[in-house]
Chain A
Amino acid sequence: MSKQTKAPRKKEKKASQFSEVMGRLRRNKLAMVSLAVIILIILAAIFANYVAPYDYAKQDMHNRFLYPSLQHLCGTDNFGRDIFSRIIYGARYSLVVSVIAVAIAVVGGAILGATSGYFGGLYDTIVQRIIDILMAIPSFLLAVVISASLGTGIMSSALAIAVGMMSVFERIMRSSVLQIRDQEFIEAAKVTGASTARIIFHEIIPNALSPIIVNATLCISSAIIAISGLSFIGLGIPAPTPEWGTLLSAGRDYIRDFWPMVTFPGVAIVITIIAFNLLGDGLRDAMDPRLKQ
């Protein structure tokens, strides 16, 4: 359809905003490599039982503390378990928990921020003061307190991390909404007969979403760190489960004598985080082309 347009335009019209963003993202090599890495990690996590060469829980006391070789790519740990397999299975937990945490934070923060920005008044004041209180507490400390009271497990760790992160999304959403709220197309929507919910969800949130998406990508990496940190101190996902932080924590005792146990989980965390950060940066540039030029 776009080829029929007679009027001269600078660029070919794209079918949707999504494909336009993807087009710009595609030109950013670093972001594309990161995206590939992330997809690889996600695929490895999903198909862990096919990818991983060994069972992550299978102990082999004859082959403890093996250094990396072709049989055991990252060596074996203190119980003779294959570290590489454990890292791959661990990706499941780390990714799932961090994605759930960020999802809770985004949805909660976006709804709170959008409503408090849109309605203003007393409701806004109350929500903002509560967020102030949340922001005053260091987020990791908050996560420690919440997961200590809720107990260990995937959902409670995710929730513990989400609460601390929510305030960031709430503030971003609120400030975007404040900008959008007074534009004429909101009034136009009111005149059209749109309900308040429709205005918030159809008119305001889609326009305020790009900073949220960018920040969500960046936050996934801090969620991974947070969940690793929680597991490291024993509050996240309990020991036999090969979460990355748990692996690190288990390797701590042998850090001087046997380096593979801490190094490889650490490298896995670092690669994942860098990939998410670079993708986030790329997304930001792609969604707001003005930033880059």
Chain B
Amino acid sequence: MADNLLEVKNLKKYFNTPRGPLHAVDDITFTIERGHTLGVVGESGCGKSTLGRTIIGLLESTQGEIRFEGLDITHPDMKRKKELCKEMQMVFQDPFSSLNPRRCVAELIAEPLKIFKVYKFAKERDERVFELMDVVGLDRRFATSYPHELDGGRRQRIGIARALAMDPKFIVCDEPVSALDVSIQAQVLNLLQDLQDERGLTYIIITHDLSVVRHISDEIMVMYLGCMVEKCDAKELFVHTLHPYTKGLLSAIPIPTVKEKKPPVLLEGELTSPINPKPVCRFANRCKYCTEQCLQSAPALEEVLPGHFVACHHVREINGL
């Protein structure tokens, strides 16, 4: 049996709105092996950030189960929650607002160490802070700088250093590079990857940028309106794209060449409302393969190819399997 660090079973997170429950995350099940990376992709508003926040415990799940190292952490009490903070950490999307503007870099990185009172003496703690700055590639001369004096990449490095301070096993990266310049994106992604190799970290990388997940993930999960529509090996997804939504998503990646031209798969129509959705295929109104069946029942996730799960009624016909 594989060594699963995180298991998520039928996780649901609904928000109560005046017009009814908003299904942000609807019935999602997956596992992540220790040391692996799961990429979660989908367009804005598909619930991928909510998924990350629910797993990390910032949001309370509506239903379902989250297991971390085999233990149920769906509804932890205060003490357990604090303990979990040592094991699970998060890297935030916006390095401009995720750092307290009144703290200097060293204080920001030392914060988790102070909360858990790891070191008795300030000197030891400073030592550790410098060590962490080295690990994430932040020059020590920035220790007394304030976040607003640094660029986005360096700020994100502070965020990563903070996340690493307690030596967690698992990190949720919520759009870790989407606020950064392309050149810095690569640096930060490489840093995340190096850290994974060194420390055996497990990641969930949440992003809307497919080239990012392709670069870093072992497995990719595609979300659409709170549901998982496709999940498989990262390489497999780009070779055998099965779900019509994923096809549209993939063809939106710009190809850096002028010679090769592929007819783009364009998606039409708007997202259906995530508030109280009908039990049908949520992608139906934008799908060119849509039939009666799609408008009557929601497709279940099935293993179409080994290790390749797709939720679509017509996946076999579309792809000629």
Interface, chain A (partner B; CB < 8 A): 1-2, 4-5, 9, 13, 15, 17, 183-185, 187-195, 198, 203, 206-207
Contact = CB atoms under 8 A, between A and B. Distances in A.
Contact of A184 (B82, B98, B149): B98
A1 B144 contact: yes
Interface of B: 53, 56-58, 81-82, 85-86, 89-90, 92-94, 97-102, 111-112, 115-116, 141, 144-146, 149, 159, 162
B113 to A, nearest CB: 10
A191 B56 contact: yes
Contacts of A187: 53, 58, 92, 98
Given A4-B141, A9-B149, 11 more contacts: A13-B144, A184-B93, A184-B97, A184-B98, A185-B98, A188-B92, A189-B100, A190-B58, A192-B89, A193-B115, A194-B111
Nearest to B159: A188
A192 B98 contact: no
A192 B58 contact: no
A192 B141 contact: no
A193 B82 contact: yes
Contacts of A184: 92-94, 97-98
A191 B90 contact: yes
Given A1-B144, A184-B92, A191 B100 contact: no
A185 B58 contact: no
Contacts of A207: 100-102
Given A190-B58, A192-B115, A193-B115, A185 B162 contact: no
B286 to A, nearest CB: 31
Given A188-B159, A193-B82, A1 B141 contact: yes
Residue from A2, A13, A184, A188 whose CB has the most chain B CB atoms within 10 Å: A188
A183 B58 CA distance: 14
Contacts of A194: 111, 115
Contacts of B115: 192-195, 198
A193 B85 contact: yes
A190 B57 CA distance: 9
A236 B78 CA distance: 49
B102 A206 contact: yes
Nearest to B85: A193
B58 A5 contact: no
Contacts of A206: 100, 102
B132 to A, nearest CB: 13
